[in-house]
Structure 1
Amino acid sequence: MARNQDIKRQAVVIIHGIGEQRPMDTLRSFVEGLTFWIKKEEPQAERPRYWSRPDGISEIYETHRITMEQFQMNPKTDFYEFYWAHHMRNTSFAHLVPWVWKLITTRLSQVPPRLKPIFYTLWATLVAMVVLGGVIYTYHAAIWAYVEAEWPSLLGIIAVVLAVVRVLYGLVKVPFSSLVLNTAGDAARYFNPMPSNIEERSTIRREGITFLRKLHDRKTKPYDRIVVVGHSLGSVVAYDMIRLLWHEMHERFTPGADVDHDVFEEMDKISRGDEPLGNINDFQQLQYRCWKQYRQNGNPWLISDFITVAGAIAHADVYLLNSKPFQALVKQKEFPICPPVMEGRDKTLFFDRLTAEVDVNGKKEKRTVRFLNHAAPFALTRWTNIYFSSDYVGSDGQRIFGKGVRDIKVDRRGLWFLPSGHTNYWDAIKDNQALSDIATAMGFKQAK
């Protein structure tokens, strides 16, 4: 993890997940949980203090930034929420159908282990409905004969049942539709690049990239680093923001006198090899060194850490509706992984170079900076992926995103058909291991 004495001021961006999210609800609960963890030994302690300030970054006026004071080993931190729920409106069941059909028709061999219980449950339900329909069809003559014989008494029963069903339908129609359309509907639309979803997807990404760009370009009290935290579907939004902003920034340099590329040679060797990592801590330390050196070489990239919590991104190969398989798009460097995919021609992370004259002790000297390819943000940005064993929305990121993802599975009891604990990762409660893992990944220290 980052040594916080190197960081004087940082920004943490929280990106919420699916549902009818209200602005600031996720951010406030996150900061409350983190503060509780920092003050764990002394819950009534006054510090660290935090307060709300004008956002100055977002394009909406419903959000504020929360500033936490510098405290012991913890740097001064501005917490932001990138809010996007208002862009997913007017979702209909027509938006859900293609996505749901793709999920239920996925080959069993391609279903990730953590989704198989849900897959089996869904298909068992469908088979049971078909069997019931078949029984009714097979014995329809006998059933109809019985109905004809007993119709006076059955008529009353049917009338009562229909009345009850009508009342119940009226009670659940609106909340059920709202629940499905405003939760699963968000995922169905964001994961499916069909024409009716392009405007919403593009708007969310455009505003997200602008949000991160403004944090990078901040002139007054600039940040030393940025941490991006994505929850649930927010992990996918965050991933897109990082990969698309990297496209803009990976070739931007203002070279200095002390350009150095040695640390990237180590990352080259790891990216080129197929053997598993010996120690994920050592790899993440290498990523941090690469991040610092890329900055030292004159690049503006500030995102040192990406943290996914109950990240739906871990099932991107199943959820995304693409014409090509996910792994094929990884090889084409459309989706960055960790460690990055090499350049096919040269078998290196480097893509090109820039030579410029710099001032060295009053003399002009040339310095050459080599920059990484467009799919290499995770050569610099550490990825920590945290999920409950009871929450099937999240899963192990290494399965499709590479051996450099730090997966943290937190044991928790739950039923197989419910994503148990999905909204409880940073609850301010004693012995919340997920909260501890989140805080540690961010580099925070507890009060002494």
Structure 2
Amino acid sequence: MLINMNNQDINIKFPKGHTAFLVIHGVGEQSPFETMDYFAQNLIKFLEARNLQIKLEHLITKRKLSTGYPWTESFVRISSANSQAEDLIDIHEYYWAPDTENKISIPEILQWAERTLQGTIDFYSRKENKHLLEELLKDKQGKGIFIFRLRWLTIFLRIFNLIFPILRLIVWLILLLLSPFMSGRFLQPAWQLSKEIVTPLLVNFVADVAIYTTTDMKSPYHWIREKILAESLTMLKELLKDKQANYDQVILAGHSLGSCIAYDTLNLLCLEASLAQDLGKSLEIDKITGLISFGSPLDKIAFFFREMGQHHQYIRRRILEQLNSFRIKPLYIWKLPYLNVNPVQCQLEQIQWVNYYHLQDPISGHLDYYEKLDNVKMEYPSKWGVEAHLGYWTDPNFYKDIARRFL
């Protein structure tokens, strides 16, 4: 779906009730509160552009980690400066960047990219998925980007893997020679600094995704994924049961890999709710009204996961399908004479899912693997690559459409 939001005029008053956004950052080098800053600032710009007087507060509250250990959360609250009403919008952040920082090698990233590329090719090569590929290729601009972006990424990583040791050695020697004249960040060990200098930002982006997609329990990275999801789910449940804020609605907003974390968090919540006698009513899951994914690689990761279930392992494959069944299109559920009753009963039907993507963004895309969501193509001017991948944060039309749907 393409929305010409530039020509829309949305007349709003300050939203009624108590709304919480849980914003989850994506790949790359992130700093604490950076995601919250971007989202809150641009939401405020949108509200102020409609002549609303805004009050902004920094608040703190006690939370618990998945281990039960207490910590203090900082978040920001947006409310109306001209009203005595208690309406509010709280922006919370789930910060997971330290869990994946400098944890994976370049060769391992290359292996991940090649597996993902092959999984994507296999998916769209299947006879039953031919119509999906034809639909995607109708857009001439999207045709070249879709067909070649993963392939070019893999080629780039292969070349970089070959020249990386030589390039790093050269930079290390230069740093050693110049060390008497260096100051500031250049005072750190030359070998570590050489890695930072010669490693492109795109490689760091892919590294986070490669770690998070590890489902092999024997992998040294599996515990990282488990920790990220455990804390994300705990944070969401803390917001749902927050008696002081008493939220009317909670909306998850995930950028890039953060959208995958948001999706997997909801999938885990479905599992937990299905085990409860009241199907999650005690968890107050009905308060979750939205899932916003932007710059999302969810389809690519789904293709990667799907290849994990071998054709002849029909019991294992069906178990994997049912454990990861949130909003999966029935078309992609393997037909079997057995195991057709899904024990995961909770499907969070009340959630409105909106996926924003940009054709110049190499990580995002139109999500085809899932159902009951709106795919919205963004058209802010941008070059291919990181610029397009980060452009959602500052695009006024992005916040305009979020306000139209949720506020």
Q: Could you tell me the TM-score, scaled by structure 2's length?
A: 0.69
Counterpart of 1:426 (choices 367, 389, 393) is 393
Counterpart of 2:18 (choices 6, 9, 13) is 9
The 1:174/1:379 distance shift into structure 2, 3 A limit, reads: same
AA at the equivalent of 1:336: S
Alignment partner, residue 338 of structure 1: 327
Distance apart, 1:58 and its partner CA: 6.1
Contact 2:172 2:194 in 1 (8 A): no
Alignment partner, residue 117 of structure 1: 148
Gapped regions of structure 1 (runs ≥ 5): 130-161, 256-293, 352-372
Alignment partner, residue 100 of structure 2: 88
1:177 maps to 2:144: no
The 1:382/1:339 distance shift into structure 2, 3 A limit, reads: farther
Distance 2:39 2:381 in 1: 22
Distance 1:320 1:389 in 2: 24
Q: Deviations over 1:8-66 (max 9, x none)?
A: 21221000001121110110110010010111144xx6x22111111433648685111
Alignment partner, residue 66 of structure 1: 76
Counterpart of 2:251 (choices 188, 205, 227) is 227
Distance 1:223 1:78 in 2: 9
Greater Cα offset, 30-39 or 378-387: 378-387
Alignment partner, residue 202 of structure 1: 226
Q: Deviations over 1:74-121 (max 9, x none)?
A: 941221101111111341315424312313544645367554221453
The 1:439/1:387 distance shift into structure 2, 3 A limit, reads: farther
**Secondary structure of 1:19 counterpart:** coil
AA at the equivalent of 1:68: I
Alignment partner, residue 28 of structure 1: 37
Distance apart, 1:214 and its partner CA: 1.4
Contact 1:305 1:383 in 2 (8 A): yes
Distance 1:163 1:124 in 2: 23
Contact 2:382 2:391 in 1 (8 A): no
Greater gyration radius:
1
The 1:250/1:5 distance shift into structure 2, 3 A limit, reads: farther
Distance apart, 1:424 and its partner CA: 2.2
1:411 maps to 2:373: no
Counterpart of 1:211 (choices 212, 231, 235) is 235
Contact 1:15 1:238 in 2 (8 A): yes
Q: Deviations over 1:258-306 (max 9, x none)?
A: xxxxxxxxxxxxxxxxxxxxxxxxxxxxxxxxxxxx96xx772121111
Any residues of structure 2 matched to 1:309-328 within 5 Å, and which? Answer: 309-320=294-305, 322-324=307-309
Contact 2:63 2:73 in 1 (8 A): no
**Secondary structure of 1:226 counterpart:** strand
AA at the equivalent of 1:193: T
Distance apart, 1:317 and its partner CA: 2.8
Distance 2:276 2:14 in 1: 27
Counterpart of 1:300 (choices 278, 284, 291) is 284
The 1:253/1:324 distance shift into structure 2, 3 A limit, reads: closer
Alignment partner, residue 186 of structure 2: none
AA at the equivalent of 2:262: A
Instruction: Provide the aligned length of Structure 1 versus Structure 2.
Output: 338
Counterpart of 1:401 (choices 362, 370, 373) is 370
The 1:102/1:79 distance shift into structure 2, 3 A limit, reads: same
Gapped regions of structure 2 (runs ≥ 5): 1-11, 125-132, 137-144, 161-168, 177-189
Distance 2:353 2:171 in 1: 52
CA RMSD of aligned residues (A): 4.3
**Secondary structure of 1:220 counterpart:** coil
Alignment partner, residue 285 of structure 1: none
Distance apart, 1:164 and its partner CA: 9.3
Quote the sequence identity (%): 19
Distance 2:54 2:175 in 1: 50
Alignment partner, residue 134 of structure 1: none
Greater Cα offset, 185-194 or 232-241: 185-194
Q: Could you tell me the TM-score, scaled by structure 1's length?
A: 0.63
